[in-house]
Structure 1
């Protein structure tokens, strides 16, 4: 690597909105990064995830008008 062209790599403290902190390394000069969510408070990692089954446009159409018969059923008629 060329000398003098790379940013300094310093120890950095990451502070989450929930109060959790951990150490990492970064090129950010202030030595501190503030984040809104981390693995300690994000719903995906904590298991408190809300599962939404919204369904798509096709599912809404089928619920409204019923499923269309397959090609085999149309050919036999």
Structure 2
């Protein structure tokens, strides 16, 4: 590798703003804020989403596609399945 063209790679603490979760990782980002983490002083980078608050990792993900394409097409254009049993009203 050529000298002097690569940024400095150093440990940084990332703070999830939503949950307060902190983790340390190597990064080339710099920050004027610092934080004491595990007995040492590190630069602090604030992030909006991390694995602690992201819906994919937490299991709070919404599933928007509940029915299939055919059902959505039928609802959109008003087609009714003539072979389907009529819905029984429980009164």
TM-score by length of 1: 0.67
**Which consecutive unaligned segments of at least 5 residues does structure 2 have?**
32-42, 82-91
The 5 Å alignment of 1:1-77 reads 1-17=1-17, 18-30=19-31, 31-53=43-65, 59-63=71-75, 64-66=78-80
Structure with the higher fraction of residues in strand conformation: 2
Q: Tell me which stretches of 4 or more aligned residues in structure 1 moved more than 4 Å.
A: 54-59
Paired residue for 2:37? none
Larger % of helix: which? 1
State the superposition RMSD in angstroms: 2.3
1:60 Cα deviation (Å)? 3.2
**TM-score, reference length from structure 2:** 0.58
Where does structure 1 lack aligned partners over 5 or more consecutive residues? 68-77
